[in-house]
Amino acid sequence: MSGQTPPAPITDPFEYLQVVLNPDGTLTRNFNSFPCVPPKPNDPQGLTPVLSKDVPINPSNNTWARIFLPREALDSSSLANKLPLVAYYHGGGFILLSADMVLFHDSCSDLAKTVPAIVVSVDYRLAPEHRLPAAYDDAVEALHWIKTTQEEWLRDYADLSNCFLMGSSAGGNIAYHVGLRSAGVVHELEPLKIKGLILHQPFFGGSQRSASELRLMNDPVLPPIVSDVMWDLSLPINGVDRDHEYCNPKVDGGSKDLEKMKSLGWKVLVNGCDGDPLIDRQMEVVKLMEGKGVHVVGNFRVAGFHGEEYFDLSKAHVMHMVVKDFITSSKPIA
């Protein structure tokens, strides 16, 4: 509205992120910035449409996952009715947040119910204490855990041959790089079979500002000054810049593993909106994959802002309906 005063530009990204960089290179984080919620593995009254439980993956790295099971799966456990599996990676610029926070818990619950699917939301190590590729390593390790675990929900209700890697923001970046790694070692992951990637507002960057970053320099949610700090804290220390492959997927013409992704017939969905400073990066990734022959679908909206679906579940549900259509269309015809 014309009478509203625009928010003051963010000048101190550390204050905005509520973090303090300590002399030893670690971060002090405000763990109260977003509330957490416990899982709900049991519901005798039958009032909860999606059950959830936490399981350890690698205790030595303190990595774990929250599994979401639609209640309807309990009513049909035959092979023909097993549900798609979504390995989900949360956002937070590689430096913040966790899988048990309300915003991710509620979104994954709606995703599991809407598709319907079994969702495994992976909690990975954070930078700068564990710089990239630690998050990628943890995400890949989670896939190997999924393929071998005897955890009953996954064993009884998940169709491991119909798996999708999904992530939001930094999690979208993780899903992309885990997809690249996995494309070259598909036999090592069997019986887990990846069918595609779902990248929601993926977090990419580069040394040169994009047009959308310049247009939204004073964005109140994720201005470039904040993205810069996230990259500085998460990329490897040894003399790299934001044209590193972890940050900029266009470096050296893109990963050669995209050709493997093409040969495997994987599909990729990229969601974004033009109110997000990262949209040009996201559209560039779509063009990159198209140029490599990957079957990619770009779903870009006008307006909006980075991460808006986590603050408005009605918008999250609309996005999850798009994901449902994407997953359903990827299922081979019997």
Catalytic residue check, 257: no
Which residues is 86 bridged to in the sheet? 119, 164
Query: 123 Cβ partners below 8 Å, 6+ apart?
Result: 63, 64, 65, 66, 90, 98, 99, 100
Choosing from 105, 177, 306, 320, which is the catalytic residue? 306
Active site residue 210: no
The CA distance from 157 to 78, in Å, is 8
Q: Active-site residue among 100, 159, 276, 280?
A: 276
Instruction: Please say if 306 is a catalytic residue.
Output: yes
How far, CA to CA in Å, does 171 sit from each of 79, 88, 201, 269, 273?
30, 8, 9, 14, 17
Burial class (CB in 10 A: 0-12, 13-18, 19+), 130: middle
Please give the Cα distance from 51 to 46 (Å, whole number).
10
- Selected catalytic residue, list 169, 182, 212, 234: 169
- Helical ranges in the chain per DSSP H: 13-17, 102-114, 134-148, 152-157, 170-183, 186-189, 211-215, 224-234, 257-264, 279-291, 313-329
Can you spell out the DSSP letters for 271-327? EEETTSTTHHHHHHHHHHHHHTT-EEEEEEESS--TTGGGT-HHHHHHHHHHHHHHH
| Residues assigned a catalytic role | 169, 276, 306
